[in-house]
Chains A and B, each alone.
Chain A
Amino acid sequence: MLRIVLQVIGIVVLFGAVTIITLKIDNMDEDGPSILFPGGELVTGELHSGPDPDWRFTDDIPVIELQLDNPMSSRRIFIMESDGKVYVPSGYMQSFLGRLWKDWAFQAAEGDGLAVARINGIRYERQLIRISEGESIDGIARKMATKYSGGAPDAVANIKKSISDGDTWIFELAPRGGATNEN
């Protein structure tokens, strides 16, 4: 009986391992991420030049593709516009699974933060700058609650607490070489 139980457990573990390894390898050199697994360099799409657009158009876009230059990898991520600037969040930053899932956020915070965002097929060269305090947090939390939490009354407070506790990290997608945050 024990032998059968161990064999069944072995097959379940095998399924999980094969799934993760296959999807990770299958996506790692793609032009963009899959739903969950990181992709490679964002290659296709016009490269934006000139002044920044009015970022409010991102209000209608649930997720964008975000590439880190170092290390080169891309993932799907939420986006919020607030006061003319754009931000991306990374949640679950204090849990074991979250740290495995959101390793890019640690790499962005500890590295140079150079990134490329592909939005509606257009690539924007940006620099990720972590925002952990300041007046901008209020607007970001409000937008995040409205856009992704259905505007529930306690959502803004919960998001602000999550940011101040360090469980959710917020990065500004700032122009390269010039931070526009107030921190």
Chain B
Amino acid sequence: MKTKSYLILCAVITIVWVATLTLVPAVSDTVEQLMIGFLSTYAQ
């Protein structure tokens, strides 16, 4: 992928993901549960 297309993709991913995390509580809750699981496993 060319650099310009890649940067556009990154920008789109960022905008869509930020909107999803802030507007859909079920998604952010699930992500946070996964992060707690990760930390509980690897923060030993």
Please report A residues at the B interface, Cβ cutoff 8 Å.
Answer: 3-4, 7, 10-11, 14-15, 18-19, 22-23, 26, 34-37, 92, 95, 97-98, 101
Contacts and interface: CB of A to CB of B under 8 A. Distances in A.
B22 A36 contact: no
A23 B13 contact: no
Given A11-B10, A14-B13, A23 B29 contact: no
A4 B31 CA distance: 26
Nearest to A167: B44
Nearest to A92: B43
A11 B12 CA distance: 11
Interface in B1-44: 1, 6, 9-10, 13-14, 17-18, 21-22, 28-29, 31-33, 35-36, 39, 42-44
Q: Is the interface of A mostly helix, strand, loop or mixed?
A: helix
Q: Is the interface of B mostly helix, strand, loop or mixed?
A: helix
A92 B41 CA distance: 10
A15 B17 CA distance: 8
Contact of B31 (A11, A19, A95): A19
Contact of A7 (B1, B29, B42, B43): B1
Contact of A23 (B21, B43, B44): B21
5 contacts: A4-B1, A7-B1, A10-B10, A26-B21, A34-B28
B14 A14 contact: yes
B31 A23 contact: yes
A36 B32 contact: yes
Contacts of A15: 13, 17
Contacts of B9: 11
B23 to A, nearest CB: 10
Given A19-B17, A35-B36, 4 more contacts: A4-B1, A23-B28, A26-B21, A101-B43
Nearest to A19: B31
